[in-house]
């Protein structure tokens, strides 16, 4: 009784080929099925930057952040009451954050040790970044709420950033801006 290696090898090769063919068929069926499901979705696109610039609070928040990005000089009352009325209102509304940054600026200018000065500057940048997050959170929440509302009303299931859509989809930026202007917090 001899063992036929050639027949075993042909059987294994046939099994490998059969498994590869079956796997390929299943992959094609799966891709086709997923494509069919996704084809039923309605895709919308929105330009987030254009929407954000239209938010009623964005202008004041960005102007305040630009003002605070530079070192603050002067007394507390000069910092809080200087500048144009809109900026003055924003600094008064967020005086706790503004004064914390002014205090860090005073400490930076008084410090002679370069390492300590760099550490204070990093702390200031961290504090400013946290304040930016605090200011922008309600604006982003309004933006998300507006997108969700327009999605629901237009029966859109997926919304993408307009900059990532090459062709197709429903453009909803103007509708989102209109909803935002009607419902956003001032």
Rg (CA), the chain: 30
Token pair listed for 53: 């610039």
Q: Please write the tens of the pLDDT for every residue from 99-146.
A: 888 888 889 888 889 899 999 999 989 998 999 999 899 989 999 999
Q: Are 170 and 156 in contact (CB under 8 A)?
A: yes
Fill in the DSSP letter of residue 71: P
CA torsion, ordered 79, 82, 84, 90, to nearest 10 deg: 30
Q: Are 98 and 80 in contact (CB under 8 A)?
A: yes
pLDDT of residue 8: 44
Question: Edge-to-edge, what's the strand order for the sheet holding 158-161?
Answer: 158-161, 43-46, 170-171
Q: How many CA atoms lie within 13 A of 106 on its CB side?
A: 10
Q: Are 179 and 53 in contact (CB under 8 A)?
A: no
Q: Does 44-183 carry CATH code 3.30.910?
A: yes
**What residue segments make up the domains of the chain, in order of their start?**
1-40, 44-183
pLDDT of residue 150: 92
Q: pLDDT (tens digit, 0 to 9) for every residue of the chain, 186 residues total?
A: 455 544 544 555 555 565 665 556 566 556 666 555 455 678 888 988 899 888 888 888 888 888 888 887 766 666 666 666 777 777 777 788 888 888 888 898 888 898 999 999 999 899 989 999 998 999 899 999 999 999 999 898 888 888 887 788 888 999 999 998 888 655
C-alpha 106, offset from chain centre: 33
């Amino acid at each position: 009784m001899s063992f036929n290696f050639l027949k075993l090898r042909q059987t294994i090769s046939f099994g490998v080929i059969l498994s590869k063919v079956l796997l390929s068929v299943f992959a094609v069926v799966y891709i086709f099925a997923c494509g069919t499901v996704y084809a039923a979705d309605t895709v919308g696109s929105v330009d987030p930057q254009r929407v954000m610039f239209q938010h009623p609070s964005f202008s004041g928040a960005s102007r305040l952040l630009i003002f605070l990005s530079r070192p603050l000089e002067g007394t507390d009352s000069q910092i809080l009451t200087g500048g144009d009325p809109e900026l003055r209102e924003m600094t008064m509304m967020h005086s706790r954050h503004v004064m914390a940054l002014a205090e860090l600026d005073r400490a930076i200018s008084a410090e002679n040790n370069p390492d300590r000065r760099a550490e204070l500057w990093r702390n200031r940048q961290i504090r400013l970044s946290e304040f930016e997050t605090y200011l922008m959170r309600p604006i982003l929440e309004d933006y998300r709420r507006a997108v969700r509302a327009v999605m629901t009303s237009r029966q859109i299931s997926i919304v993408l950033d307009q900059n990532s859509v090459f062709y197709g989809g429903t453009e909803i930026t103007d509708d989102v801006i209109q909803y935002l202007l009607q419902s956003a917090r001032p």
